[in-house]
Chains A and B, each alone.
Chain A
Amino acid sequence: MTHRLIRRWLPAAACAAAIVAPAALTAQAPPRGSAELLAQLSAKATPRLSGKPDLNGTWDHLGGIEFIRPTKLPDGSVCIRGCAPPAGAPRPVPAPAAAPRPAAAPPAPLFPKYKPEFLAKVKDLSARQVETDSGLRCMAPGLPRLGPPGKIIQTAKEVVFLYDDVNGAFFRIIPVDGRKTYRKDMPASYLGDSIGRFEGDTLVVETTNFNDDTWLTDNGAFHTTDLKVVERLRRVGDTIEYTATSHDPAVLVEPWNSKPYTMWITSQELEEPARCEDRDLDHVVDGTHHDNPR
């Protein structure tokens, strides 16, 4: 098997290297998402819009699948996962360095800290995640699990967040017109109701009125309908530092800072995500699931 793979991939890899060599000699751009690239982009001047940082744009953060490093060879063969390194080929280049975290953000614990009386519930939900996690059934993931927006449209009075998520296309309309009160008579929802404001150069978005169908992250991290999520977006050059803090004092010991991101502007436009239609869960014979915290 190994020999067969070597015979197959070695000539093709050599061919690919020969084809790309001229481009490689002139290619200077740091890898997508690398610390080097982010340093270059964050050093640029920060554009402004009516005195506020201009957040308009499509923003990349590697989309949570940065671990996918496909190889594509000239004969049309493609390896997405578990690719055998071609014999004699140089060692694979490591994945891009993780984006630097905003200096003000403390390290994110992997999981919210629950009050002792709720630990059994978390454990039970986690053990039955295949049954209990609405995120596995193509529902909106909620906040902060949805992660940073893929595109931001900003006017003087509102900011719109757009998402092309594996579970679907989602939007949030966030007024930044100085209002202090949330809309009345709005039903609780997966993505809640938001109000934004600028604190200096940081857009602060406070969101409430969630339903309790979603989780904060994997593994049974439930929340109540009293959840409040505070997101902070600070544009630095052509990057945005994004953090989200979840407040749910009825069940959490302390506010939880989920994984921070550094996003960078991209010319790659959002696409309509393929329809989400789960066909797998009815065939899962045990509760095993893999973790992919956002």
Chain B
Amino acid sequence: MRHRLLGVMLAAAVLATASVLSAHHSVAGQFDLSKQVTLKGVVSKVDWVNPHIYLHLDVKGDDGRVVTWSLGTVPTAMARRGGLTRESIAGASGEVVTVECNPARNGTEHLGWVKTITYADGRRYELSGR
């Protein structure tokens, strides 16, 4: 019965979508999965595009200068399966979120792959494993 309970709980979280995934390049080919960067900033824009959603995170440095990071994450169909929307990923206007991400392997600055996003209310999106 307990197994059945968890199964129902998981099933309840699943949104039906019919989109099909293409073959795609490896995340490890683009991002250094052995390194992790933690950012605090405001999501200024979410590009709800395939094959990967990209969010823009405005991060204020110690010198007060704001730098915008471009952060890739899961395809839209996967986000939908988890019940995530452009709005839920963006958070409230001006909300400071914490993002754990992997940096680009080719040295491109301010480019990363989202691992987790934690919002001011404590909710946390784990998007790419640990």
Q: How far apart are B124's CB and chain A's nearest CB, in angstroms?
A: 5
Residues of B within 8 A of A91 (CB): 3
Q: CB distance B2 to A166 under 8 Å?
A: no
Q: CB distance B29 to A286 under 8 Å?
A: yes
Q: How far apart are B31's CB and chain A's nearest CB, in angstroms?
A: 8
Contacting residue for A290 out of B7, B26, B50, B105, CB 8 A: B26
Q: How far apart are B95's CB and chain A's nearest CB, in angstroms?
A: 13
Q: CB distance B51 to A278 under 8 Å?
A: yes
Q: CB distance A81 to B74 under 8 Å?
A: yes
Q: CB distance B16 to A60 under 8 Å?
A: yes
Q: How far apart are B114's CB and chain A's nearest CB, in angstroms?
A: 10
Using known A-B contacts A16-B9, A78-B82, A273-B76, determine if residue A163 contacts B3 with beta carbons closer than 8 Å: no
Beyond contacts A32-B11, A80-B78: 8 other A-B pairs, Cβ-Cβ < 8 A, are A60-B18, A77-B126, A80-B125, A82-B128, A166-B21, A166-B50, A285-B106, A288-B25
Q: How far apart are B123's CB and chain A's nearest CB, in angstroms?
A: 4
Q: CB distance A72 to B82 under 8 Å?
A: yes
Which residues of B approach A to under 8 Å, CB–CB?
Answer: 2-14, 16-26, 28-30, 47-54, 70, 72, 74-79, 81-84, 88, 104-106, 108, 111, 119, 121-130
Q: CB distance B3 to A68 under 8 Å?
A: no
Using known A-B contacts A166-B21, A288-B25, determine if residue A274 contacts B127 with beta carbons closer than 8 Å: no
Complexed CA–CA distance, A264 and B85 (Å):
26
Contacting residue for A63 out of B19, B47, B72, B119, CB 8 A: B19
Residues of B within 8 A of A61 (CB): 18
Residues of B within 8 A of A217 (CB): 23
Residues of B within 8 A of A167 (CB): 22, 50-51
Q: How far apart are B62's CB and chain A's nearest CB, in angstroms?
A: 27
Residues of B within 8 A of A268 (CB): 16-18
Count of chain A residues near B, Cβ 8 A? 82
Using known A-B contacts A16-B9, A63-B19, A283-B108, determine if residue A276 contacts B50 with beta carbons closer than 8 Å: yes
Residues of A within 8 A of B22 (CB): 135-136, 141, 165-167, 292
17 A-B residue pairs with Cβ-Cβ distance under 8 Å, sorted by A, are A8-B124, A17-B9, A20-B8, A31-B7, A61-B18, A71-B9, A80-B127, A90-B6, A93-B6, A163-B20, A268-B16, A274-B49, A276-B51, A279-B70, A280-B51, A290-B24, A291-B23
Q: List the 4 closest pairs (A to B, CB-CB), nearest first.
A: A82-B129, A76-B123, A72-B13, A70-B82
Contacting residue for B23 out of A138, A163, A218, CB 8 A: A218
Within 8 A of B (CB), among A242-294: 266, 268, 270-271, 273-281, 283-294
Interface of A: prevailing SS = loop
Q: CB distance B52 to A165 under 8 Å?
A: no
Q: How far apart are B46's CB and chain A's nearest CB, in angstroms?
A: 11
Within 8 A of B (CB), among A118-159: 129-130, 133, 135-136, 138, 141, 145-147, 150-151
Residues of A within 8 A of B82 (CB): 68, 70, 72, 78-80
Complexed CA–CA distance, A165 and B24 (Å):
13
Complexed CA–CA distance, A130 and B25 (Å):
6
Residue A89 at the B interface, CB < 8 A? yes
**Stretch from A21-29, A46-54, A193-201 at the B interface:** A21-29
Residue A225 at the B interface, CB < 8 A? no
Q: CB distance A292 to B24 under 8 Å?
A: yes
Q: CB distance A90 to B2 under 8 Å?
A: yes
Complexed CA–CA distance, A93 and B10 (Å):
9
Q: How far apart are A195's CB and chain B's nearest CB, in angstroms?
A: 24
Residues 1-23 of A, flagged 1 when their CB comes within 8 A of B and 0 if not, give 10000001000000011001101
Q: CB distance B18 to A63 under 8 Å?
A: yes
Q: CB distance A71 to B5 under 8 Å?
A: no
